[in-house]
Copies of this chain bind each other. A is one copy, B any other.
Amino acid sequence: MRNGSANRMYRTQEFAELASVTVRALHHYDRLDLLKPRRTDAGYRLYGVRDLERLEQIVALKFLGLSLKQIKALLEREKLELSAALRMQRKVLEQRRSLLDRAIRAIREAESAVKPGRQTDAAVLKKIIEVIEMQDNTDWMLKYHTPEARQKVEARRQLWSPELQERVSKQWAGLMAEVETALGEDPAGPRVQALAERWIKLVEEFTGGDQEIAAGVRRLYADQANWPAGFQQQAKPFMNPEVWTLMQKAIAIRKASAT
């Protein structure tokens, strides 16, 4: 009774215009249980001020590039996950921007390179491909490596014949498959320890015994553990996380018992 007429209710269209979204979007959010308005007896949706606030939050997070699933997870568990999510999202966006930048640069370079004399489309395409490939070779290493590590990777790359590459990657696949069959077992048991042995060998072969590279890989996977809700599955990794943790445990045990 405190404020009877103050909190007016809006029907769908009116509310949509108020918030600059479409009616269909409101339907959509409703079905996803993301924003569920009240209903009249006839089934009409009725939105109030609280709904407007929530919708504004949704729209804002969408603007930041979060998916509706992620937004839902964040808004539901009113924990302190938001800032963690934002930190992650910032990285995602920055990565996306660097991709965009590369594309834009490629177009610019192709445009300026083709100016003299109108060339055929095929020539333009060739130039584009060239530019992109040049960028590619230099960019992929920047991710989980320090600058010093980059040089070493580059050096190693030249030592790797395609045959060696294939052999190693096949061994990886086989080993991971085997580890999966041992998932329930004791990390200290003989079978898992044997697998850990092979694991270490492969890692050494892969990294050339370089600690920095190995650390980069480890960072990549360790990060996963404390991701906020709704982010677990996005871009699923090429390795089962359980496999990863089992191996980490086994290796830790191995090292401890090696003294």
Residues of A within 8 A of B (CB): 56-57, 60-61, 63-65, 74, 78-83, 86-87, 89-90, 93-94, 96-97, 100-104, 106-108, 110-111, 114, 118, 120-122, 124-125, 128-129, 132
Contact = CB atoms under 8 A, between A and B. Distances in A.
Contacts of A124: 82-83, 86
B121 A79 contact: yes
Contact of A93 (B56, B107, B125, B132): B107
Given A80-B118, A82-B121, A93-B100, 8 more contacts: A57-B125, A60-B132, A63-B103, A78-B121, A80-B120, A83-B124, A94-B104, A100-B100
Contacts of A94: 104
Contacts of A82: 121, 124-125
A66 to B, nearest CB: 10
Number of copies: 2
A102 B65 CA distance: 11
Contacts of A114: 83
A150 B147 CA distance: 45
B96 A100 contact: yes
B103 A64 contact: yes
A61 B60 CA distance: 32
Contacts of A118: 80
Nearest to A128: B60
Nearest to A97: B100
26 contacts: A56-B129, A57-B125, A60-B125, A60-B132, A63-B102, A63-B106, A64-B107, A64-B128, A65-B103, A74-B121, A78-B122, A79-B121, A80-B121, A81-B121, A83-B111, A83-B114, A83-B124, A86-B124, A89-B107, A90-B107, A93-B103, A93-B104, A93-B107, A94-B104, A96-B100, A97-B100
Nearest to A118: B80
